[in-house]
Amino acid sequence: MKHSRMRLFAPVVIATALVLAGCSTSNLGGTSDADKSGDSGPIKIGAVLDITGVGASLGVPEQNTLQMLADQLKADGGINGRDVELIIVDDQSTEDGAAKATAKLIESDNVDLIIGASRTGPSLAMRPLAEAAEIPLISVAANAAIVDGAKWVFKTTQNDVTVLETILNDAEKKGYTKLALVRDATGFGEGIADYITQLGADRGITLVTTEAFEPSATDFTPQMTNIRSSDADAVIIWGINPAAGLAQKAYVQLGVNKPVYQSHGIANQAFFDAAGPSADGVIAAMGRLLVTEQLDADNPQRPVIEKFQADYSEAFGEQPSTFGGHAFDAWHIAVNAIEKAGTDPNALRDELEQAEFVGISGVYKMTPENHSGLTASALILAEARGGSWTLLKD
């Protein structure tokens, strides 16, 4: 039986081969049959996003934003008379998914530029492919390692360091010298303790204790108990919702009476849902998206954000999130550069390295050394009061 069973599989194997046999694109590194779109024909922009899987809460607003912007651009007649085609691929929030998606975009769709991925891991899996194929990649994930030393990779999110600088400047001003950190145990909170130690050195601030929590954590008693018994002047809670909100709640319930800073990771309504009244008094560093109406009338970002908010809520019936903002910035930086430099990869890359753009997350100024382009000025401090954010003026 064992052997005859194998015979039965032969048709399956052959069928698989037939399924696999599609068009005749070369998979062996030769030139593709349809080469890069050149200087005519539609411009192709690919996007690799966490549309399904654990990163879906990031990827879906990014997908919505990109689709909306592509439709707008199409209605406006494209770039320099050329149509722009957006191809979005789901990486299922996995590294191998991102690698598959990137290879597909590069090899069979022949895209001119790629946006993605939503999170650090998949972005790092895409980086070597983009570098090898010499195609510009604009990530919408946070970690500085994504662009560190990269030639072809850029990103649009604030570096963690700039967020921390903003927080530490405020702490220094208020005379706090000892800080405690409660951080997310995954990539988002990684390296934060080291940054605080480094940045704090100039400001006379030391980190006295560090605790961590899972993004799925629900019990924060051990962490907060340790914080409570530390001699810190203030506490930084660094995480994303709902965990960061729950941590805030536990913090108050356990009677820790120290001021709290939170990161840009909590900048959405879910924070108030999870933390409830415990949120009051929290100071957070974030982009300007959530406090638009409190901005000065002459703030250059204000009209950009207001238009984005209006467009997005008209298209999707809800307010855009920070993540949609990252995608918005990536799209416009890409489109502006293509407008100036065309689709020749080298020219496009050089143009991206000098891109300047007033976006949702801040005012960008890319350089060959800085592929991230945002400075501390991109961030503001806001205080939670009664379920919404109040801009703290300097």
Q: What character string, x for contact with another protein (CB under 8 A) and - otherwise, covers 137-156?
A: ------x-x-----------
Between 121 and 325, whose beta carbon lies closer to another protein? 121
Cβ-based neighbours of 107, under 8 Å, separated by 6 or more: 25, 27, 32
Between 124 and 352, whose beta carbon lies closer to another protein? 124
Residue 317 within binding range of another protein, rule CB under 8 A: no
Binder among 70, 88, 124, 330 for another protein (CB under 8 A):
124
Site for another protein, residues 27 to 46, rule: CB under 8 A: 27-29
Cis peptide before 193 (omega within 30 of 0): no
Site for another protein, residues 257 to 316, rule: CB under 8 A: 270, 274
Binder among 71, 83, 134, 219 for another protein (CB under 8 A):
219
Count of positions on this chain that bind another protein (CB under 8 A): 81
Question: Shortest approach of another protein to residue 347 CB, angstroms?
Answer: 24
53 vs 99: CA distance, rounded Å: 15
Residue 194 within binding range of another protein, rule CB under 8 A: no
- Residue range at the interface with another protein (CB under 8 A); choices 85-93, 153-161, 173-181, 343-351: 85-93
CB-CB contact of 185 with 215 (8 Å): yes
47 vs 202: CA distance, rounded Å: 40
Q: What character string, x for contact with another protein (CB under 8 A) and - otherwise, covers 333-362?
A: ------------------------------
Cβ-based neighbours of 271, under 8 Å, separated by 6 or more: 241, 244, 245, 248, 262, 279, 384
Closest among 207, 195, 201 to 164, alpha carbons compared: 195
Phi-psi region of 214 (alpha: psi -120 to 50; beta: other; left: phi over 0): beta
Per-residue tokens: 96: 């191998």
Residue 200 within binding range of another protein, rule CB under 8 A: no
Cβ-based neighbours of 127, under 8 Å, separated by 6 or more: 137, 146, 150, 153
Binder among 36, 172, 177, 190 for another protein (CB under 8 A):
190
CB-CB contact of 94 with 122 (8 Å): yes
- Residue range at the interface with another protein (CB under 8 A); choices 56-64, 201-209, 310-318, 385-393: 56-64
Give the Cβ contact number of residue 345 at 10 Å. Answer: 17
Closest among 182, 178, 204, 177 to 193, alpha carbons compared: 182
Per-residue tokens: 313: 């809520």
Question: Shortest approach of another protein to residue 19 CB, angstroms?
Answer: 8
Site for another protein, residues 220 to 259, rule: CB under 8 A: 221-223, 225-226, 228-229, 242, 246, 253-255
Question: Shortest approach of another protein to residue 386 CB, angstroms?
Answer: 19
CB-CB contact of 360 with 379 (8 Å): no
Binder among 16, 313, 346, 377 for another protein (CB under 8 A):
16
Between 274 and 335, whose beta carbon lies closer to another protein? 274
Question: Shortest approach of another protein to residue 60 CB, angstroms?
Answer: 5
Question: Shortest approach of another protein to residue 146 CB, angstroms?
Answer: 10
Give the Cβ contact number of residue 2 at 10 Å. Answer: 5
Between 145 and 199, whose beta carbon lies closer to another protein? 145
